[in-house]
A = this chain, B = another copy of it.
Amino acid sequence: MENETTETRGRILEAAAVVFAEHGYAATTIRMICGRAQVNLAAVNYHFGNKERLYREVLLYARSCAYDRYPPTYGLADGAAPEQRLHAFIRSFLLRTSCDERNLGFGTLVMRELVEPTTALDMLIDEGIRIMFGQLVDIVRPLLGEQVEEELVLACARSIISQCLFYLFSRPVIRRMAPEQKFNHEDVEMITGQIMFFSMHALNGISESRCRRERPHA
C-alpha cells in the first residue's frame, strides 16, 4: 500500500484524540472511540494492542500535529531579537494548546496528564516539555542582562510559562465567568500581548535593578 497506516488505524487515532481530550483516559471507553470512528470494537485491540498503548500513540500523534502547525518559531524571521522570540514563543504556545480542533486536543491531553499522570508523562517530559522549557530559558536569559544567576533565569521562565498555562487550565472557569471569551485567534493575539506586557515589564525591571546594583556609583 502507499499510505503507511491503514485508514481504520488513522480514523481510530483521530477519534481517540478527541474523545480522550474530552473525557480523560479513565472515563473514555473503547466503545466511545470505536463508535466515533465507525470501526469495530476489536479494531483498537488489533491496531494498538490495548487502551493504554492507544493512548500513548494518541499523545504522540496529537503533539506532532500541534507542533507541526505551531512550532515555537511560528511567524518568526531568522535573527529576530530576544523580545520578538519571546513573543513568538508565547503566541505559538497558546495557539498550540488552544482548543482548535486541528490540534487534536493536544493542550487538553497534556493538561490531563499533568493532573492524572500516567507512565506517558515521563515520555512527554523527556521528549517535549524539557526541550520546550529549555528553549524558553534560552530566550529569557539574554533579556535579563549579563551574568545573571541561572536560578533567577529559571524562576523567571517559570513565571512566564505559568501565565501561558493559565489560559489552558482556567479555560473552564473563564468560560463560566466570562462566556464572551472564545479563545479564537484574535483572543490569542490579545492574551499574548497581555503576557508580554506584564513579563517584559518584569524582566526589564529586574534587569535594570541588577545593573544599578552592579554599578552603583555609575
Interface of A toward B, CB cutoff 8 Å: 24, 26-27, 111-112, 114-117, 121-122, 125, 129-130, 155-156, 158-159, 161-163, 165-166, 169-170, 172-173, 176-177, 194-195, 197-199, 201-206, 209
A121 touches B173 (CB 8 A): yes
List 12 contacting pairs A-B, 8 Å CB cutoff, sorted by A: A24-B26, A26-B26, A114-B169, A114-B170, A114-B173, A121-B172, A125-B176, A129-B177, A159-B198, A162-B165, A163-B163, A201-B204
Residues of chain B lying within 8 A (CB to CB) of residue A199: 159, 202
- Stoichiometry, as copies per complex, reads 4
Main secondary structure of the interface of A (DSSP, over half): helix
Interchain nearest-CB distance for A160 vs B (Å): 9
B177 touches A130 (CB 8 A): yes
Residues of chain B lying within 8 A (CB to CB) of residue A27: 26, 116
